[in-house]
Amino acid sequence: MPLTPNPPAEQPVTDRFRLLVDAVQDYGIFMLDTVGNVVSWNTGAQRLKQYRPEEIIGRNFSTFYPPEAVAAGWPAEELRRAEKDGRFEEEGWRIRKDGSRFWANVVITALRGPDGKLEGFGKVTRDLTERRAHEEALRESEQRFRLMIEGVQDYAIFMLSPDGVIESWNSGAQRIKGYSPAEVIGKHFSLFYLPEDLAAGKPQAELKLALAQGRAEEEGWRVRRDGSVFWANVAIAPVYDAGRVLRGFVKVTRDMTERRRLYELEKSSKRMSEFLAMLAHELRNPLAPIRNAVTILQLEPSPSPLVRSSRDMIDRQLSHMTRLVDDLLDVGRLTTGKIRFKTEQVSYNQVVARSIEAVRPLMDARRHRLTVDVPTAPMLVQGDATRLAQVLQNLLINAAKFTPEAGQIELKVWQDGTQLYTTVSDNGAGLSPEALSHIFELFAQGDAQTAARESGLGIGLTLARSLVEMHGGTLSAESEGPGRGSRFSFFLPNAQLAAGSANDQPGKEAGATIMVVDDNKDAANSLAEVLRLMDCQVKVAYDGPAALELFRKQPSQAILLDLGMPGMNGYEVLSALRALHGGERVTVAALTGFGTDEDKQRALEAGFDEHLTKPLDFAVLQTFLQTAGLVV
């Protein structure tokens, strides 16, 4: 018989167990004696704590603890608790060989012999640093989110239980609804609803809808703590945990009362516009036969003086009423966006002539003196000739209405670069500061006492401003006060002056060239007009870069420079200006609303030649120009 080889001797169980423990990589598993000295060391312990067996065996396990834990006697306390209870577990910081820290889960087990005598301890350590970092990041994220929610002021954000009981309350909820957290947490959210909504079961219906659709949103009236109501936008969403168990609802509420009010005003304005349009159309129907009757009377040969006087009176009043109806109709079209507008190249000279012709009878009837200062050279603009004439006619009619008999009205037109300026001035009733702030509003009629003496609906200036803005320009009003006259000014862009023509008369010496720089367009344009009236040539820029570019192309003799402009302030513009060719010689005055001695000193030290305070007094401006040798 063949010999059967002897089977290998079976490895003792203790040896196999030792090999198994030594092979574990993710856990540090080692033995301690009864006083805590290391007596064994597996591969996982070496990888985790960086010590080789020969470096650590025989040393006390307190080597792995931070100094503050060792000073507090914590390693010995762990052994004491493990000996007492048979097992001890905790998480805390531990130290590697290189001094770095890691967050460890530690289990210490007391090892006893058959007789129950303590023979040492088994210790298992696991590195949980990554998990702790994730948990810390999650806690920090939750804390930041909680702080963010708490800090939100414009939205009420709060949590509800599955039954609708309030569980959290942010500062926005307190501001909007009026309840403090102590007053509202623990109560049902139905206390924010109107009685009729409660009777209809609206709160419960909202929660059911949010559960069914994943989200519910609506707008409606809600009740504050003081009993007042507000229009709210409300969104509710269910909140589930990781196991898809309903934890409650998050509710976000925003106060939309102001937006609803504006919406209602917009609807009301639209209805009013539709009414005005309908009224204008209806009024035109009876005006047509009246106009025909007047025409017949005008064709009647040799009427008596009484008939002729009555006929002319009807004609004048009919023309006035026709203008009112036209304005009503255009306001209706304007507010509904249906106004007719035709853009083409227009002769502004003809627009001026048509406008004067239309209002001449009214001015003649009041014996007004109309002064017209318009260049003879053709001026061309892009726009609608009819609408531009409507603007100018409204301004002239307004001047005639509020200027007493034999009063003075002035119409002036001039061109500066590609901008065409028009002003209508009078020495009539004038406007108070309060009336100036409302003069362009629909149905505004200036000061009540003055308006009461004049007919009109208060829509002509509103229409004029809108039409000017549709042409890309602006319309403004000025007055030194009641009884001191008014001036209305507007400009139109993209103007052209015929080749070879000039605004100045032949042989007339041109005045000083001055640049006005101010981001407030009304302030810049009005100051420019004052300077033009002083026979100066004026250029206008509305920001620093535009002023520097304008100076490079065409240097000025003097510059009135606003200090408080956004982007590039006056000091920065001055610094850049002085570096340009010719900039070191130009006279520059700081123009500002700050007028203390310190402000003036700072401006002069920065290199300004003068410091002028807004609002600029005419005498001060004249003195500056005379001192600078710019005017006589």
- For every residue of 412-446, DSSP letters joined together read EEEEETTEEEEEEEESSS---HHHHHHTTSTT--S
- Asked whether residue 135 is assigned to any structural domain, the reply reads no
Burial 383-419 (b: 16+ CB within 10 A, else e): bbbebbbbbbbbbbbbbbbbbeeebebbbbbbbbeeb
Determine the average pLDDT of the residues in 356-376.
86
Predicted local confidence at residue 129, as pLDDT = 85
Same domain, 345 and 492: yes
487 and 521 together in one domain = no
Task: Please report the pLDDT score of residue 446 as a whole number.
Answer: 55
Tell whether the model's pLDDT for residue 509 goes beyond 50: no
What pLDDT score was predicted for residue 452?
38
Residues 536 and 564 both lie in one domain = yes
Domain assignment of residue 494, yes or no: yes
pLDDT value, residue 500: 42
pLDDT digits (tens, 9 = 90+) for 1-25: 444 455 554 555 556 666 667 767 7
- The CATH number of the domain where 322 resides is what? 1.10.287
**Angstrom distance (rounded) from CA 124 to CA 130:** 18
> Stretch 571-597: mean pLDDT, rounded?
86
Q: Which amino acid, residue 356?
A: I
What integer pLDDT is reported at residue 605 of this predicted model? 92
Query: Which CATH number fits the domain that encloses residue 77?
Result: 3.30.450.20
Judge whether residue 30 has pLDDT over 70: yes
Quote the mean pLDDT of the chain: 82
- How many CA atoms, within 13 angstroms, populate the side-chain half-sphere of residue 555? 12
For residues 378-387, average pLDDT? 86
pLDDT value, residue 279: 65
Instruction: Report pLDDT digits (tens) over 114-128.
Output: 888 999 999 999 998
Q: Number of C-alpha atoms within 13 angstroms, CB side, residue 15?
A: 4
> Of 499, 522, 554, which closes a domain?
499
Q: What is the pLDDT of residues 207-254, one digit of tens each?
A: 999 999 999 988 888 999 988 889 999 999 999 988 889 999 999 998
The least confident of 256-265, 447-456, 499-508, 566-575 is 499-508
Instruction: Decide if 626 is inside a domain.
Output: yes
Same domain, 494 and 389: yes
Total domain count, the chain: 5
Domain assignment present for residue 3? The answer is: no
pLDDT of residue 449: 41
What pLDDT is stored for residue 1 in this prediction? 43
Residue 439, pLDDT > 50, answer yes
Among 297, 315, 335, residue at a domain's last position: 335
Token representation of residue 202:
């609206």
Query: Of the ranges 318-332, 347-361, 511-525, which one carries the lowest mean pLDDT score?
Result: 318-332
Digit-coded pLDDT (tens) for 298-328 = 777 778 888 888 887 787 777 767 766 666 6
How far is the C-alpha of 552 from the C-alpha of 543, rounded, in Å?
Answer: 15
Give yes or no: residues 351 and 241 share one domain: no
Element containing residue 112 per DSSP (H, E): strand 101-112
Asked if residue 91 is part of any domain, the answer here is yes
Per the domain annotation, does 142 fall within a domain? Answer: no
Q: Are residues 277 and 196 in the same domain?
A: no
pLDDT value of residue 141: 67
Calculate mean pLDDT across residues 78-84: 93
Asked which of 122-136, 388-402, 559-573 is least confident by mean pLDDT, the reply is: 122-136
- Its sign, for the CA torsion 153, 157, 158, 164, is positive
Q: Where is pLDDT greater, at 606 or 143?
A: 606
Neighbours of 180 (CB within 10 A): 11
Task: State the residue range of the domain holding 288.
Answer: 268-335
- In this structure, are 331 and 354 located in the same domain? no
pLDDT, mean of residues 582-593: 88
User: What is the domain-level CATH number for residue 539?
Assistant: 3.40.50.2300
Domain-embedded: residue 190 = yes
Q: Give yes or no: residues 517 and 607 share one domain.
A: yes
Average pLDDT for 185-195: 93
Residues 434 and 418 in one domain: yes
Which of 438, 468, 499 represents a domain boundary (last residue)?
A: 499
Alpha helices in 303-346 (DSSP H): 305-335
pLDDT category, 455, cuts 50, 70, 90?
A: very low
Q: Do 349 and 490 reside in the same domain of the chain?
A: yes
Residue 137 banded pLDDT, cuts 50, 70, 90: confident
Tens-place pLDDT, residues 607-620: 999 998 776 666 67
Confidence of residue 337 (pLDDT cuts 50, 70, 90): low
Question: According to the model, what pLDDT value does residue 375 have?
Answer: 86
Q: Is the pLDDT of residue 481 over 60?
A: yes
Read off the pLDDT of each residue in 459-468 and give the average, rounded to a whole number: 83
Which CATH number is 482's domain given?
3.30.565.10
The answer to whether residue 273 sits within a structural domain is: yes
Residues 286 and 192 in one domain: no
The rounded percent of the chain whose pLDDT value lies above 90 is 36
pLDDT on residue 52: 92
Least confident of 190-194, 221-225, 453-457: 453-457
Q: What is the pLDDT of residue 320?
A: 64
SS3 551: helix
Alpha-carbon torsion (252, 258, 264, 266), positive or negative: negative
Same-domain status, 109 and 180: no
Q: How confident is the model at residue 262 (pLDDT cuts 50, 70, 90)?
A: confident
